[in-house]
Amino acid sequence: MDFRYAKRNRQIDHWLVIALSACLFLGLNFLASKIDLQIDLTPDNRYSLSKESLLLLEKVDQPIDIIITLPSSNNLPKVVQRLVHDIDLLLDSMERVESSHPIRVHRVDVNSPKQTSEILDIYKISEPNLIVVGSPKAGKRIIYRYNETSSTNPYDTSQVFRSAESIARQSIWEAGFYSEWKELGNGRLEPGSFRGEETLVRNILQLSNTYQKRKVAYFTRGHGEYSPTDTSPDTGLSDFRSLLEDRNLDVASIDLSTIERIPMDAKILVIAGPKGIFQEKEISIIRNFMNQSGGSVLLALDPVEELTLTDRPALGLRTLLKEWGIRCHDMLIHDPNKENFDLFTGAYFLRTYPKGENHRLISNLAQEGFSILADRCRPVEVNRQDGQSFITRELLFSSRDSWALSSWTERSFPPDKNPLLDLAGPVPILAISSPNPVHLEVSNLHKNGKLAVLGCSRILSNKKMKSAAGNQTLSRNLIYWLQNESEMLTVTPRKLHTYFVTMNHKEFETTLYYFTIIPASILIVGLFVGWLRKEL
């Protein structure tokens, strides 16, 4: 063998290996860039669409376009940059949804002179900083708009100065993309959780169902009930209204004393915290709504204080409730355990669920150990009878230490337990009833009718909904059950966790140099060591 060429052949082999390795590396990267595959390895699938959203999107009956004209720019306010980041993660998941009518996402820059997009002409969009949901058949809905020139002049004393950051936060708050806003030490509000998935899915469904008559959740009035338009913490139900609207329902109020029947577009009738007695005509309207029209009723009754109402138990609704297998006593639940009940404020933590297999309406609540924050409560029992026409269940209870007080307005506090008249705990506070499919022909009931009775209306109030995740989950599950959408009940609520690194251009270049210097130094040292070994 001629050893004169051995050194040269080894060098050629080395360079050939390097060249082949580089080709393999470039080839693998090229192939990876052509594979549109996303795998969410997080334990709670935080970067994937929830089962709830996937089921709702299956109902979309026409193509949907989502047009984003928000640029990915560091010049935008930080809160808008965060929105762009979160929306991009969400839209990547939406584009991968397999459906007969896929969702098409378009990210366009209307300010670019080279930008010629057909989608802008179809929906006649020329304004930047928009998020638009559109359909060729139903038109478009602008769900977010940020006007970057709307900040006020700091030198103009005729108006209160508002920065671009403040205007941006207000626009995002109004669009409903974030919730649980918290005030930081500097007085600035920052969002706590991302609601973009709910917001986008709701708008997609509303646009898709433009030509379909949407169902309505009616809130009764005329008996001192709480209002869905009230934003006050203790008595307002505006947050519960938002949950209904998020589930693709319109919300309206109705006075039963002025009508002959509940409108045909009604899906749910909500009676929240009434204080006046319901008349026979009103009760008959409610009965026909459930029995004949297949409507659902959510009744939230508080303990009755007025002694003059004792001749009409449960505000005149006892007969109707009895027909559906539910008894709602005019009693007050008392709990001496300070961990569960605050005698001065009336705040009550409900943590007791049925033993054994839980109903789907509260299964995720029981599994996750959620507590329900309530106020003064009254018992809501089921009337167990064999062969009855309804399937009834008690789903939420007070603690074992509690009991329900009879004639509680005449009792002294703290009360002594009366074993003959009081009801021993745990006392049921939530009960549901639906027609038994076996007896539908005999009972002449509509199969879709449903009734849910809560012994405390404050569970649905804005303050309780904001203070306890369990209240939100329970309210959401009640809406699904009343809508006959049982497939939604097993979805556990989750948050989207995002992480941000904020830096200016100089800091970014410095960080880039740091990440470049180390690999480059290793490469130079390696080449130098290789050269030394060859020389030796």
pLDDT at 327 over 60: yes
pLDDT, tens digit, 9 for 90 and up, residues 375-433 = 989 999 998 765 578 889 999 999 998 999 988 888 887 788 888 889 998 999 999 99
> Is the separation of the CB atoms in 298 and 321 below 8 Å?
no
Instruction: List residues bridging with 216 in a β-sheet.
Output: 250, 266
Contact 146, 129 (CB under 8 A): yes
Output the pLDDT for position 338.
Answer: 76
Put the strands of the sheet holding 139-145 in their side by side order. 103-107, 64-68, 130-135, 139-145
All structural domains of the chain with their residue ranges: 51-200, 215-484
Percent composition of the chain: helix, strand, coil (DSSP 3-state, to 5):
35, 20, 45
Domain 51-200: CATH class, spelled out: alpha beta
Q: How confident is the model at residue 486, as a pLDDT?
A: 67
How far apart (Å, rounded) are the C-alpha atoms in residues 393 and 430? 9
Calpha distance 254→269 (Å, rounded): 9
- Rounded to whole angstroms, the Cα distance separating 518 from 510 reads 13
Same fold flag, 51-200 and 215-484: no
pLDDT, tens digit (0-9, with 9 covering 90-100), for 480-504: 899 887 655 655 444 545 455 555 6
pLDDT number for residue 496: 47
Residues 301, 454 contacting (CB under 8 angstroms): yes
Instruction: Find out whether 51 and 491 touch, Cβ atoms under 8 Å.
Output: yes
Q: Which runs of consecutive H residues, i.e. helices, occur in 247-335?
A: 280-291, 318-323
- Does residue 192 surpass a pLDDT of 60? yes
Question: Of all residues in the chain, what percent carry a pLDDT higher than 90?
Answer: 23
What is the pLDDT at residue 457?
93
pLDDT digits (tens, 9 = 90+) for 120-153: 888 888 888 888 888 887 788 888 888 765 555 5
The average pLDDT across 41-69 equals 75
pLDDT above 70 covers what percent of the chain?
81
Query: Mean pLDDT for the chain?
Result: 80
Beta strands in 23-116 (DSSP E): 64-68, 103-107
**Closest to 110 in 3D by CA, of 49, 151, 67, 76:** 67
pLDDT, tens digit, 9 for 90 and up, residues 66-125: 988 887 777 778 888 888 888 888 888 888 777 777 888 888 888 776 655 688 888 888
Look at residue 493 in the predicted model and tell me its pLDDT.
Answer: 46
Q: Name the architecture of domain 215-484.
A: 3-Layer(aba) Sandwich (3.40)
Confidence of residue 286 (pLDDT cuts 50, 70, 90): very high
More confident residue, 391 or 520: 391
